Amino acid sequence: MTYQYIFGPVASRRFGMSLGIDLSPDKKRCNFDCIYCELEKAKPVESYDNPPSADEIFEEIKKGVNLYEFDVLTITSNGEPTLYPHLNELIDKLKTLNKKLLILSNSSTIDKKEIQNTLKKLDIVKLSLDSANEKTFKKIDRPYKNILLQNIIKGMKEFRKLYKGELIIEILVVKGINDKVEEFQALNKVLAEIKPDRVDISTIDRPPAYNVEGVKIDRLFELAEYIKNQHIFIPTRENINYKIENLTKEELLNTLKKRPFSQSDVENILDERTQKIFNDLIKENLLEEVWVGGIKFYKAYI
């Protein structure tokens, strides 16, 4: 059977096995025109034209859900899923399936009360925040004309207060645009106020809509040093040269108090000696395991 609205399941590095729901399968409908978009360039739009009914989408999902094994049902779109006008109704229907629900949003509508009330019903909400600087935001995300970064940030803080699920903020780094230390210092300040559960830092992975490039994976680890006291996850397939080397037990414990390591950090960035110390810390029960959005982190008890 061919499906129109569901795809996968796909093994996502960030969320585990994910069965995707595409709310705009026929064309791109987005209020951003990001320079790094994997879809074609398209003028940003304000709303969703010719939306299918929530019933039509749900009927298909109900069939697909029983056929596959997956960890999370991911609401996404060829564009921005929160533009779909029947999202609230659809989410109410999806809740009856008793599956873990995730949405991948560009954050553009998070300042709207009705969107906040809709998204708060989900288990995981991923919002993008590529910069804390209005000018850089416009350069990277090329939003529809009335969308302002300051409203998005205000909306994220409001949403955090009423949302009990896992809030993940994603930063996508583009070479020469938001790959500067000052950008990350500014993001650090804003993230401390938003208080997400996890911060994902990634770069361009597939051919982008515009002529721009990603940065080396090591640069992501360097920039991550400026984001303090957050669970940071850097998904990667590349070899990593960035290393944390020769830490003493105290130094490693101190680092893990400020910056919990994901399982992939432990395997990829600790040198052999520091990994041994890490294993000793586990044996001595000095580290706590925390799962955030399907990723395991280790942090030191404070």
Binds ligand SF4 (CB under 6 A): choice among 6, 21, 37, 90: 37
22 binds ligand SF4 (CB under 6 A): no
Binds ligand SF4 (CB under 6 A): choice among 5, 15, 18, 33: 33
Give least dist CB 213 to ligand SF4, A: 16
Give least dist CB 78 to ligand SF4, A: 7
Apex 234 CA angle, 70 and 44, nearest 5:
80
Give least dist CB 97 to ligand SF4, A: 25
Give least dist CB 294 to ligand SF4, A: 21
21 binds ligand SF4 (CB under 6 A): no
212 binds ligand SF4 (CB under 6 A): no
208 binds ligand SF4 (CB under 6 A): no
**Positions in 252-291 near ligand SF4 (CB under 6 A):** none
Nearest to 66 by CA among 9, 109, 140: 9
Binds ligand SF4 (CB under 6 A): choice among 30, 124, 173, 247: 30
Binds ligand SF4 (CB under 6 A): choice among 32, 48, 84, 261: 32
Please report which helix (H) or strand (E) contains residue 76, including its range.
strand 72-76
CA distance 80 to 105: 6
**Positions in 46-85 near ligand SF4 (CB under 6 A):** 79-80
Q: Which stretch binds ligand SF4 (CB under 6 A): 30-38, 60-68, 161-169, 238-246?
A: 30-38
Radius of gyration of the chain (CA): 20
CB closer to ligand SF4, 37 vs 94: 37
Nearest to 179 by CA among 210, 229, 230, 214: 214
DSSP-assigned letter for residue 293: T
Please report which helix (H) or strand (E) contains residue 268, including its range.
helix 263-269
Give least dist CB 40 to ligand SF4, A: 9
CA distance 266 to 280: 13
CA distance 94 to 102: 11
Binds ligand SF4 (CB under 6 A): choice among 106, 178, 203, 262: 106
CA distance 173 to 2: 35
CB closer to ligand SF4, 37 vs 266: 37
Q: Are strands 101-105 and 295-300 parallel, antiparallel or unpaired?
A: unpaired
**Positions in 118-157 near ligand SF4 (CB under 6 A):** none
Produce one character per residue of 137-152: b if its CB has 16 or more CB atoms within 10 Å, e if not. beebbbbbeebebebb
SS3 (DSSP) at 199: strand
Q: Are strands 295-300 and 287-292 parallel, antiparallel or unpaired?
A: antiparallel
Q: Which stretch binds ligand SF4 (CB under 6 A): 34-42, 118-126, 211-219, 293-301?
A: 34-42
Residues near ligand SF4 (CB under 6 A) are: 30, 32-34, 37, 39, 79-80, 106
